Amino acid sequence: MVIEVNRITKRFEAFTALKNLDLEVRPGELVALLGPSGSGKTTLLRIIAGLEFADEGRILFDGTNAGDRQVGERRVGFVFQHYALFRHMTVMENVAFGLRVVPRDKRMANADIEKRVMKLLSLVQLDRLAGRYPSQLSGGQRQRVALARALAIEPRVLLLDEPFGALDAKVRKELRRWLRRLHDEMSLTSIFVTHDQEEALELADRVVVMNNGAIEQIGTPEEVYNMPATPFVYEFLGNINRIDCEISHGKARLWGVEVTAETHDGTPVPSGTLKGHAYIRPHDITFIDPSKQEGAPAVVRHVAAAGPTARIELAVEGIPHLIEAELPRQQYLELGLRTGQSVTIAARAARVFPPAAE
């Protein structure tokens, strides 16, 4: 199903949660709404679901206006952050709920309901626990019950609000993969909200980065990570080093290299000399031989070498905060870096923006 969000604005008293926002989700897509808290991502999800209503703008499901339909009529599967299970019902009854509240003349026979529920429970691998109450389940199991319950009504679209937020890291990772598989197998259209960039980048077909009630960038995980459209996306996605620099005539000099400045909305960079920020990913920092190439002198302050990449904190002359670099383990071993060692660094890639007009 195609979901079109058309110039949606939502205000809560004096606070504007969403500002004139547009978004289109294509059939079969898994889209992540990613942003810090207060960016409006959950509000947008709730408006799509029909749990909240926009002050302006329209929501279209397959081209028809969904705005005047109540949440129950939209056939959306909504998975709540804290599961929202009915705690006085067994797992079985929780999942069956959506089938039992159908008007009597359209309701499935009891036996069919039970068959459908058991099928869903085996899909989420909880068929053995059908008779338990939610209080007898672990967090990951509860989340899967919530998912099975949402899927029982055969939704046209699946909406998940911070689906893995309350789970610990290992369970979260398992469930993430499992959700991706489920989404592909059932060919659903899904939107999920998260503030965890890793989750968004790993799981989604497209990531919608939100900030302050507006969309900063929409793109594939690769696009938003490698080609961030705005300084905000740069800082929000992945680790980043931000360095103050000076832009003159559209160019900045950084560690012996000239970088062309750009603006996030494509307008020309103001001429003359102005202050700006350079953004460098930690893995784009290289350790070089100063006799062959121009670079910046630095001192190694701390090394965290556990895992496949080594994280190195560097004190660079003229920069008040530490710079973070990442090296593959093998390269780190070859360089033999040690705390206190003097090195020379350069940037493989960097982007320079004038300060955002805020």
Partner 1 sequence: MSPSTANSTLAGYDDAPPPPRAWGGSWRQPSVLPGFGITMGFTLFYLGLLVLLPLMALIFKAMEFSWEQIWAAATAPRALAAYRLSFGAAFIAAVINLFFGGLVSWVLVRYQFPFKRIVDGLVDLPFALPTAVAGIALATLYAPNGWIGKLLDPIGIKVAYTPLGVVVALVFIGLPFVVRTVQPVLQDLNKDVEEAAASLGASRWQTFRRVIAPSVMPAALTGFALAFARALGEYGSVIFIAGNLPMKSEIAPLLIIIKLEQYDYAGAATIGSTMLIVSFLLLLPINVLQRWSRLRSAEV
Applying CB under 8 A, which residues contact partner 1?
49-51, 70-73, 76-78, 80-88, 97-98, 101-102, 125-126, 128, 133-142, 144, 146, 149-150, 152-153, 167-168, 170-171, 174-175, 178
CB neighbour class for 259 (10 Å; exposed up to 12, middle 13-18, buried from 19)? buried
CB of 71 to partner 1, least distance (A): 5
CB of 105 to partner 1, least distance (A): 14
Report the amino acid identity of residue 153. I
What's 148's DSSP letter? H
Query: Is 138 or 226 the residue whose CB approaches partner 1 more closely?
Result: 138
Query: Is 125 or 339 the residue whose CB approaches partner 1 more closely?
Result: 125
| CB-based contact 189:3 (threshold 8 Å) | yes
Query: Is 22 or 168 the residue whose CB approaches partner 1 more closely?
Result: 168
| Cβ within 8 Å of residue 122, ≥6 positions away | none
CB of 125 to partner 1, least distance (A): 6
Query: Is 134 or 228 the residue whose CB approaches partner 1 more closely?
Result: 134
CB of 17 to partner 1, least distance (A): 17
- Residue 91, sorted as left (phi over 0), alpha (psi -120 to 50) or beta, turns out to be alpha
Query: Is 106 or 292 the residue whose CB approaches partner 1 more closely?
Result: 106
CB of 129 to partner 1, least distance (A): 9
CB of 65 to partner 1, least distance (A): 19
Quote the CA–CA distance of 1 and 61 in Å, as a whole number: 7
Pairing relationship of beta strands 76-79 and 157-161 according to DSSP bridges: parallel
Query: Is 102 or 227 the residue whose CB approaches partner 1 more closely?
Result: 102
Pairing relationship of beta strands 157-161 and 15-25 according to DSSP bridges: unpaired
Locate the DSSP E strands across the chain.
Answer: 3-12, 15-25, 30-34, 56-61, 64-65, 76-79, 157-161, 189-194, 206-211, 214-219, 241-248, 251-254, 257-260, 273-280, 285-287, 296-304, 309-316, 323-328, 342-347, 351-353
Distance from CA of residue 326 to its chain's centroid? 22
- Angle at which helix 139-152 crosses helix 110-123, to 10 degrees, equals 130
CB of 206 to partner 1, least distance (A): 24
CB of 70 to partner 1, least distance (A): 7
Query: Is 134 or 282 the residue whose CB approaches partner 1 more closely?
Result: 134
Query: Is 13 or 317 the residue whose CB approaches partner 1 more closely?
Result: 13
- Greatest distance between any 2 Cα atoms in the chain: 84
The alpha-helical segments, DSSP class H, found in the chain are 41-49, 91-100, 110-123, 139-152, 169-186, 197-203, 221-226, 231-236, 329-335
